Amino acid sequence: MKKIDLHMHTTISDGTDRPEEILEKAREAGLSVFSVSDHDAIKCSSILPKLLKKDDPLFLSGVEFSCKDENGKYHILGYGYDPESESIRKVVETGHGYRMDTVHRRLKYLSEKWNIRFPEEEVKKLLTLDNPGKPHIGNLMVKCGFVASKRQAFEEYINKIPNADMYLHPKEAIRGILGAGGIPVLAHPFFGSGSSRIPVTDLKERVERLQDFGLAGIEAFYSDFDDAMIREALSIAEELGLYVTAGSDYHGENKKIPLGETGMERYYLGKEISDDFSEVPGLRRFLSDVRMIRAS
């Protein structure tokens, strides 16, 4: 079976591998297709094409937007878009602005509530990162000796900060991706916020609402899905005529998930799957159509 992984992160967001390192790992993992979907950032979509060699896996431009509306939180993936398009660049700029506002608010709360203050030079380094987030603050707390582990930083401090975060509306993210010629996909559809699981009936309603905005696919294969969840996601995709994608959500050292681990190999263990994934129609259509986008 050909291996694909369309959901991974680099140092441009909250991963620990630089773009060139993640390309090397994609080669080592034997991937045939891959995408980097950094949070609210599209820089890799301009960097990686310049590093690709003749026999490298197919690379698709990718992104992951953090979104929220009156019905909950969503992560919207975008694939095959033109990274030079003003449509997607405007969404990235808005999402980045929200993210930086959240970082400043968290630093202020840590200082005022728990007297946790970082050296000025460390704060400057943090704020010059492309997309700083919770993992970066947690790592800094460990480095400066305020906690023994990043997990402790999250559980005892960062996750207790009142949630006043600003988010993109899913409609805004989806239409920004479509306007750039890309394909919008709902990431890890059973998980909206953290690890809390969304019931199947609620998931279908959620996906149908997003379809009204232009959602075109769901991530049916995901590293943290069991076989029952994959089966339900595939069923929803087939019923609603959606594309299917597969992703690990690899973050390097920031999340213990192997690159290329999407659950697909486990799900189809012992079954013959053709190179074009014809046994998974939604995935086959996605790869075919995204190649057409690239060609145009």
For residue 241, pLDDT beyond 90: yes
For residue 195, pLDDT beyond 90: no
pLDDT in tens, 10-56: 999 989 999 999 999 999 999 999 999 999 999 999 999 999 999 99
Domain ranges in the chain are 3-84+169-295, 93-160
pLDDT at 295: 60
pLDDT at 296: 57
The CA distance from 113 to 295, in Å, is 54
Q: What is the mean pLDDT of residues 131-141?
A: 91
Mean of the per-residue pLDDT values for the chain? 92
Separation of CA 144 from chain center: 29
Neighbour count for residue 103 (Cβ, 10 Å): 19
Confidence of residue 164 (pLDDT cuts 50, 70, 90): low
Tell me the fold of 3-84+169-295: TIM Barrel (3.20.20)
The CA distance from 78 to 62, in Å, is 5
